[in-house]
Amino acid sequence: MRISGMQKLTLLDYPGKVACLIFTQGCNFRCPFCHNKDLLGPQNDNNISVEEVLTYLRKRKGLLDGVVISGGEPLLQEDIEDFIKEIKDMGYLVKLDTNGSSPSRLKKLIDNNLVDYIAMDIKNDFINYDKTAGVNSINIANIKRSIEIIESSSIDYEFRTTVVKQLHDLGQIHKICDYIKPNSKYYIQNYRDCNEVLEKGLLGFSIEELKDLQKNLNVVYPNVTVRGI
């Protein structure tokens, strides 16, 4: 496991739970709006050992409900299953953040009861996926398969999209909604600029634009929620 960051306490990243947030190193996407550009490459000077994480979690048993494993893309980690099993053996719930590019590994975690909540990013409609994810020739079949695996599972989950003015419009978001089941939770998150973003000059939407977006979508998709308004 290549772990490059740990937020020891979060009340926001695991819905309804008090959790610890772990960031894994490495990602196969290069989303221009990414806030974690230091986590994209294979190496980072700020690595944290697995034992350091596990030692902290042992001390916090009874005080934390769960652990969020984010990135980067956690499913690139070869020993992710063994790592999660150690966490689960302590009695913690596990939430996984993923871009959905590794459906076989995702299914294995679900089948082995190693995850309790999944948050999958759907970057854009499939026509614009490469541009939005910042890489060429994304295997869209893998993205579709991950959506199917998640929706057919018995665990809690959500889909989400970070919206950027230069990359998204209402028609594209409508298409994303068509990819998922009507009862699936789908969250739209507004892009917010920061110093660590991968590509400068991107813009989010105004609050009024976001309210109009949700109003338009909720006519057909009642489970769509815009976070933060």
pLDDT tens sequence across 164-212: 999 999 999 999 999 999 999 999 999 999 888 889 999 999 999 999 9
Residue 44 has a pLDDT of 74
CA 186 to chain CA centroid, Å, is: 12
Residue 196 has a pLDDT of 82
Cβ-Cβ contacts under 8 Å for 29 (sequence gap 6 or more):
73, 99, 101, 123, 133, 134, 135, 138
Q: What is the pLDDT of residues 20-31, one digit of tens each?
A: 999 999 999 999
Residue 38 has a pLDDT of 85
Residue spans per domain, the chain:
3-226
Looking at domain 3-226, what is its CATH homologous superfamily? Aldolase class I (3.20.20.70)
Q: Per-residue pLDDT averaged across 128-144, rounded?
A: 96
pLDDT-above-90 percentage for the chain: 90
Q: Per-residue pLDDT averaged across 213-223, rounded?
A: 93
Distance of alpha carbon 6 from alpha carbon 70, whole angstroms: 10
Q: What is the pLDDT of residues 34-62, one digit of tens each?
A: 988 888 887 777 789 999 999 999 999 99
Q: Which residue has the tokens 């679900």?
A: 110
CA distances from 185 to 130, 151, 171, 199 (A): 24, 10, 19, 29
Residue 179 has a pLDDT of 97
Distance of alpha carbon 189 from alpha carbon 163, whole angstroms: 6
Residue 43 has a pLDDT of 75
pTM: 0.95
User: Which range is least confidently modeled, 73-82, 93-102, 146-155, 215-224?
Assistant: 215-224
Confirm if 181 and 223 have CB atoms less than 8 A apart: no
> How big is the CA angle at 23 (ends 106 and 205), to the nearest 5 degrees?
90
The confidence band for 90, taking pLDDT boundaries of 50, 70 and 90, is very high
Residue 23 has a pLDDT of 96
Backbone angles phi, psi at 18, to 5 degrees: -95, 125
Q: Per-residue pLDDT averaged across 81-94, rounded?
A: 98
The confidence band for 86, taking pLDDT boundaries of 50, 70 and 90, is very high
